[in-house]
Amino acid sequence: MEDFIRRLPKVELHLHIEGSLEPELMFELAERNGITLPYANVQEARAAYHFNDLQSFLDIYYQGANVLITERDFFDLTWAYLMRCKADNVMHTEIFFDPQTHTDRGIAFDTVINGIYHALRQGEKELGITSKLIMCFLRHLSEEAAFETLEQAKPHLHRLIAVGLDSSELGHPPEKFTRVFAEARALGLKAVAHAGEEGPASNIWDAIRLLHVNRIDHGVQCVQDPTLMIELAETRMPLTVCPLSNIKLRVFDRMEDHNILNLLDEGLCVTVNSDDPAFFGGYMNDNFLALNQALSPNKAQLVQFTRNAIEAAFLTDDERHQLLQNLDDFWASHGIH
């Protein structure tokens, strides 16, 4: 089964590019940019990646982001992630970036998006990995600040597929960002939002009804509301679930307690993703392997995760058909049609 998982074609829809900053690259960029880190070495930095809850994670996350200064830094960060995609057989990825994390430090919006975007395009040419880019608003900041970020993004709309909403869910409900999401959709962007991770099922309803999202990021608290479960199944509203992240942030105590297979069996469009892999214990293969060890999914369930992700991805019909063909070819190579 481990060999099957490693060779399974995958699609990732919930990945924060800043959360893929490994300690080794953090030290390399700090040295390049003359920044002094609060860690003596890579080992001490990796030890600091152990935290207790979402807020303590975010504190470390923003500390690490301080080493990202130049366009080349953002390129190198993204390229390192794409190399992990290649190793994990990820065919397509739709990545989040948090411009406010950088513009608040005085880094130009253009610097951030140029570095990321050029790496994604090179990844398509050299690695064969297709990608889309999603700009997230930090929900602990104001909607006014989100509007400012959307304004900065306007020259780059052709590079973006959607807007998202991330950071601390508690105390910052979807309704806080209703107007800026309406503006983004009017500009032709799709919408996603983190909801139902540490927050209640009602946040999922609000993200759907108020923000009119195309996908829910996380969403595992949907089980609190049977009516919502039915709604999600009937509409095929995708949930971008992040198993290792959910354990690391204590959404579930143990992987054995995770509800992802139950959600799949209930007919929900659930997908597997790595969230912030440098901090949460691994990339796509690691998440699939952890699920396999704890929950013993069968091969059909594992393939369905990829099939759901292809369905949920922001693709043209031709792009979707190609990814489905790749998956079907893999499935057929195992004697199953």
Q: Which of these, 116, 158, 155, 160, lies nearest to 136 by C-alpha position?
A: 160
Ranges of the chain with pLDDT below 70: 335-337
Residue span of the structural domain in which 128 resides: 2-333
- Residue 156 in marked binding region: no
Dist. CA 213–CA 48, nearest whole Å:
34
Number of domains making up the chain: 1
Residue type at 169 in one-letter notation: E
* pLDDT tens digit sequence for 220-242: 999 999 999 999 999 999 999 99
DSSP string for residues in 313-334 = S---HHHHHHHHHHHHHHHHHT
- Residue 194 in marked binding region: yes
Q: Alpha carbon of 267 to those of 83, 220, 230, 294, 328: distances in Å?
A: 33, 14, 9, 21, 20
- Residue 275 in marked binding region: yes
Q: Given this model, what pLDDT does residue 19 score?
A: 95
Dist. CA 230–CA 272, nearest whole Å:
21
Query: For residue 181, how many C-alpha atoms fall within 13 Å in the half-sphere facing its CB?
Result: 24
Question: Which phi and psi angles does 173 have, rounded to 5°?
Answer: -70, 165
Q: Name residues whose C-beta falls within 8 Å of residue 125's C-beta, 6 or more positions apart in sequence.
A: none
Residue 39's CB is within 10 A of a number of other CB atoms, namely: 18
Q: Given this model, what pLDDT does residue 63 score?
A: 80
Dist. CA 12–CA 196, nearest whole Å:
19
The one catalytic residue in 12, 18, 197, 198 is 197
Nearest-5° Cα angle at 9, 266 to 13: 60
Cβ proximity of 300 and 335 under 8 Å? no
Would the pTM count as exceeding 0.95?
Answer: yes
- Residue 276 in marked binding region: yes
Q: Alpha carbon of 30 to those of 17, 37, 59, 107, 138: distances in Å?
A: 17, 7, 18, 15, 24
Q: Name residues whose C-beta falls within 8 Å of residue 331's C-beta, 6 or more positions apart in sequence.
A: 303, 337
* pLDDT tens digit sequence for 37-80: 988 999 988 888 887 777 778 778 888 899 999 999 999 999 99
The CATH number for 329's domain is 3.20.20.140
Residue 197 catalytic? Answer: yes
Dist. CA 137–CA 85, nearest whole Å:
25
